[in-house]
Amino acid sequence: MTTAHTSPPWRHWRHVVKLDPARQITDEVVQAIAASGTDAVFLGGTQDITYENTNTLLGRLRRHAPQLPLWQEVSASDAVVDGVDGYCIPIVLNTTDPHWLIGAHAQAIEKFGPWIDWSKVLVEGYLVLNPDAAVAQLTGANTALTPQAAASYAAAAEALFSMPVLYVEYSGTFGDPALLAEVARTARRAHIFYGGGIDSYEKAATMAQHADTLIIGNALYTANWQQVLHDTIRAVK
Ligand SMILES: CC(C)=CCC/C(C)=C/CC/C(C)=C/CC/C(C)=C/CC/C(C)=C/CC/C(C)=C/CC/C(C)=C/COP(=O)(O)OP(=O)(O)O
Ligand SMILES: O=P(O)(O)OC[C@@H](O)CO
Ligand SMILES: [Mg+2]
């Protein structure tokens, strides 16, 4: 008997938009995202994320972008919503606080118990690399990593913990392409997400050489959002 192996949808994503439920966004931008050709939308952020603001944003996205995969990136267990296509669960590899490595996760699993649909869960091994980002400060991340050190975290996440996704996170600033390249070179099976400071064709093209998926966040909250959407999608497709 042969078994059909289909790869999960996220393996095919090249371009993902991350929207922060705690920030304001107009219907015009949401509609443009829906029509843009992006592969998925993540709902997530670090600060002031609540059930209410996440559910409100999800409702707007469902209305304006019914065909787009919508995934919640869980950063607080009391903000978990129903009705998304999947849940990204961040695990911060270079945190100095075990809470962000496993503690928050164990608490959430205790809380939700048997209600968790594990077939909808995607584990992301995060390397948090911009010391000025809220996520770096919250998690006490050791952001001063050489490319070799970052690649060693990536190898550990993949080989020792079987993580399917490595997320190279420079949220708020454009990162080091050499570090991303070293992580990508080291990874054997893991899928590489890159996010941080992508706001142009050139930056997207540079990081798309090494990452499987680019995540675009802050630039969509600027006056230049239309150009950003157009150019970053053109760079990866
Ligand atoms: C319906 C139902 C019952 C569903 C079950 C839900 C489910 C799937 C549960 C699974 C259980 C589980 C393991 C949940 C995880 C719980 C949890 C709170 C884990 C901690 C996650 C974590 C490490 C958070 C730290 C912050 C982080 C990494 C956030 C990711 C997003 C991010 C980095 C945004 C960018 O942030 P920021 O720094 O603010 O950047 P800007 O300044 O540029 O905006
Ligand atoms: O907001 P930017 O800097 O685009 O980063 C995207 C994403 O990686 C944030 O979690
Ligand atoms: Mg933020």
Domain harbouring 194, CATH code: 3.20.20.390
Where are the alpha helices (H) located in the chain, listed in sequence order?
A: 27-35, 51-64, 103-112, 134-139, 147-155, 177-186, 201-208, 225-236
167 is in an annotated binding site: yes
In a domain, 164, yes or no: yes
Q: CB under 8 Å to 78, separation ≥6 — which residues?
A: 50, 51
Nearest residue by C-alpha to atom 7 in ligand 2: 195
In a domain, 208, yes or no: yes
Q: Residue 114 Cα, ligand 2 centroid: separation in angstroms?
A: 32
Q: In terms of Cα–Cα distance, which of 101, 49, 57 is closest to 75?
A: 49
In a domain, 20, yes or no: yes
Q: What is the distance between the alpha carbons of residues 118 and 123, in angstroms, rounded to a whole number?
A: 10
217 is in an annotated binding site: yes
Atom of ligand 2 at shortest distance to CA of 173?
Answer: 3
pTM: 0.97
In a domain, 1, yes or no: no
| Rounded-to-10 torsion of CA 33, 38, 40, 41 | -30
Instruction: Confirm or reject: Cβ of 92 under 6 Å from ligand 1.
Output: yes
In a domain, 75, yes or no: yes
46 is in an annotated binding site: yes
Q: Residue 143 Cα, ligand 3 centroid: separation in angstroms?
A: 17
Instruction: Confirm or reject: Cβ of 89 under 6 Å from ligand 1.
Output: yes
Instruction: Confirm or reject: Cβ of 73 under 6 Å from ligand 1.
Output: yes
Q: Which helix (H) or strand (E) holds 144?
A: none
Instruction: Confirm or reject: Cβ of 218 under 6 Å from ligand 1.
Output: yes
In a domain, 4, yes or no: no
In a domain, 91, yes or no: yes
Here the tokens at position 81 are 């919503």
> Phi/psi at 101 (nearest 5 deg)?
-95, -40
Q: What is the pLDDT of residue 6?
A: 86
Domain that holds residue 126: 11-236
Q: What is the distance between the alpha carbons of residues 98 and 138, in angstroms, rounded to a whole number?
A: 12
Q: What is the distance between the alpha carbons of residues 135 and 129, in angstroms, rounded to a whole number?
A: 9
Q: What is the DSSP letter of 79?
A: G
Nearest residue by C-alpha to atom 16 in ligand 1: 105
- Cβ atoms of 54 and 75 closer than 8 Å: no
Nearest residue by C-alpha to atom 40 in ligand 1: 171
Give per-10-residue mean pLDDT for the chain (237 aa).
76 98 98 98 97 98 96 98 98 98 98 94 98 98 98 98 98 98 97 98 98 98 98 97
Q: What is the distance between the alpha carbons of residues 22 and 15, in angstroms, rounded to a whole number?
A: 22
Nearest residue by C-alpha to atom 15 in ligand 1: 105
126 is in an annotated binding site: no
Q: What is the pLDDT of residue 4?
A: 61
- Cβ atoms of 173 and 219 closer than 8 Å: no
Q: Residue 195 Cα, ligand 1 centroid: separation in angstroms?
A: 15
Q: What is the pLDDT of residue 2?
A: 53
In a domain, 6, yes or no: no
What is the domain count for the chain? 1
Between β-strands 213-216 and 191-195, what pairing exists: parallel, antiparallel or unpaired?
parallel
CB under 6 Å to ligand 2: residues?
18, 169, 171-172, 195-198, 215-219
